Amino acid sequence: MLQETISENTQWIDAGCVEDLSVGAGTCVLVEGRQVAVFRVDAETFRAVQNQCPHKGAAVMHQGIVADRSGEAVVLCPLHKRGYHLGDGRCMEEGGPTLRVYTTKVEGERLMVSAGL
């Protein structure tokens, strides 16, 4: 799993207004030159993962289908429907590649995404 450690030195990138993000839908933002897929899982829960699907490398994860699997939010790639856990990036197929996960936080009306490593 590729997930950065948050510290006081973490840089946060403004990913937009939370009210512009619909529940269950994703959007793509640039974080330090990298495409990041941002999802609003529910009214107060946001997730961010790499936009490039590790299966074939297509930059399409922001168009993925958000679903609930046993209480965990997952996203299905729109191309071949591989599923990934939005919390930690694990592939739903055993041994499958993982998505990089970015930490998010809400500051006022803004969604912030960690700049990562």
Binding site for ligand FES (CB under 6 A): 53, 55-56, 58, 77, 79-80, 82
Who's near 85: CB < 8 A, 6+ residues apart? 69, 72, 73, 74, 92
Minimum CB distance to ligand FES smaller for 52 or for 114: 52
Provide the minimum distance between the beta carbon of 77 and ligand FES in the complex, in angstroms, as a whole number. Answer: 3
Q: Are 49 and 61 a contacting pair, CB within 8 Å?
A: yes
Provide the minimum distance between the beta carbon of 27 and ligand FES in the complex, in angstroms, as a whole number. Answer: 18
Minimum CB distance to ligand FES smaller for 48 or for 53: 53
Provide the minimum distance between the beta carbon of 99 and ligand FES in the complex, in angstroms, as a whole number. Answer: 10
Cα pseudo-dihedral 75, 29, 95, 42, rounded to 10: -30
